[in-house]
């Protein structure tokens, strides 16, 4: 069985501008540098969205609103010739308001369930795959699943708890930078922007 590498993309604050709990397609706008994702496709990577959508459990919107979000993403990415191989989301939150979604699960990042499910469905080689996200929960999910991770330094992360599996393999300012780091096989180093940030906060 032939397995392909993938780049997993967090949605809000990574692939698209962060509008909290938004499911209105017209308000979904790709983040700066998104056109560079075409370079990953050309290099043989599948692109897969993996997103926590706790607004379902919180009662802010229905799960039925999410297919329109996926369709909007596919259309916007299609304008750059970028196909989306999969769209996976977690609707759960233990402290939510909607009972059937207010549960402990294995899919809410930093747990790796979304990535593992996508890997089974799409025949992905996790050892050759990456995750791009704007918070360290994305990094942890990637590492638990067996991938490497790029953290976007765009203000999404505020806690900076980098212990254990939460230290990214690379850091970038936007999606274009993240694409470059992946294609170069970038490795985290002590003089990276993330290292400087962590040192300043220590």
Instruction: Say if residue 158 is exposed, middle or buried (CB neighbours under 10 Å; 0-12, 13-18, 19+).
Output: exposed
CA dist., res. 74 & res. 20, Å (int)? 20
Distance, in Å, from the CA atom of 182 to the CA atom of 147, rounded to the nearest integer, reads 12
Q: Sign (positive/negative) of CA torsion 17, 170, 162, 201?
A: negative
| pLDDT for res 145 | 98
pLDDT of residue 162: 83
d(CA 181, CA 187): 8
The pair of three-digit structure tokens given for residue 199, joined into one six-digit string: 């040192």
* Catalytic residue (one of 10, 137, 138, 169): 10
pLDDT at 1: 67
Q: What distance separates the 2 farthest-apart alpha carbons in the chain?
A: 46
How many angstroms separate the CA atoms of 23 and 18, rounded?
Answer: 11
Is there a contact between 172 and 30 (Cβ–Cβ < 8 Å)? no
Q: Which fold has domain 6-201?
A: Rossmann fold (3.40.50)
In whole angstroms, give the CA distance from residue 92 to residue 130. 24
Q: Round to whole Å and give the CA distance between 97 and 9.
A: 27
Q: What's the CA gap between 42 and 37, in Å, rounded?
A: 9
Instruction: Detail the DSSP E strand segments found in 43-135.
Output: 46-52, 86-90, 130-133
Per-residue pLDDT tens digits of the chain, which is 202 residues long: 689 999 999 999 999 999 999 999 999 999 999 999 999 999 999 999 999 999 999 999 999 999 999 999 999 999 999 999 999 999 999 999 999 999 999 999 999 999 999 999 999 999 999 999 999 999 999 999 999 999 999 999 988 888 889 999 999 999 999 999 999 985 444 445 454 444 344 3
Q: How far is CA 144 from CA 72, 116, 131, 158, in A?
A: 30, 10, 11, 21
Residue 12 appears among annotated catalytic residues: yes
**Torsional sign, CA 100, 118, 111, 189:** negative
Q: Which of 12, 134, 137, 169 is catalytic?
A: 12
Task: Look up residue 4 and give its two tokens.
Answer: 């392909």
Domain positions in the chain: 6-201
10 catalytic residue (yes or no): yes
The total of other beta-carbon atoms located within 10 Å of residue 193's CB is 14
The predicted pLDDT at position 186 comes to 56
């Amino acid at each position: 069985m032939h397995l392909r590498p993938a780049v997993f993309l967090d949605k809000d604050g990574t692939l698209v501008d962060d509008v909290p709990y938004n499911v209105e397609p017209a308000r979904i706008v790709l983040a700066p540098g998104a056109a560079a994702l075409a370079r990953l496709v050309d290099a043989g990577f599948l692109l897969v969205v993996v997103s926590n959508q706790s607004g379902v459990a919180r009662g802010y919107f229905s799960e039925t609103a999410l297919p329109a979000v996926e369709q909007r993403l596919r259309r916007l990415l299609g304008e750059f010739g970028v196909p989306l191989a999969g769209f996976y989301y977690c609707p759960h939150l233990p402290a939510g308001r909607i009972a059937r979604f207010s549960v402990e699960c294995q899919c809410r990042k930093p747990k790796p369930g979304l990535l593992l499910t996508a890997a089974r469905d799409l025949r992905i080689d996790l050892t050759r795959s990456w995750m791009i996200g704007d918070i360290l929960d994305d990094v942890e999910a990637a590492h638990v699943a067996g991938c490497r991770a790029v953290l976007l330094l765009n203000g999404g992360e505020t806690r900076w708890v980098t212990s254990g599996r939460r230290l990214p393999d690379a850091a970038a300012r936007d999606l274009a930078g993240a694409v470059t780091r992946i294609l170069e096989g970038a490795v985290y180093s002590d003089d990276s922007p993330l290292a400087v940030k962590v040192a300043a906060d220590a």
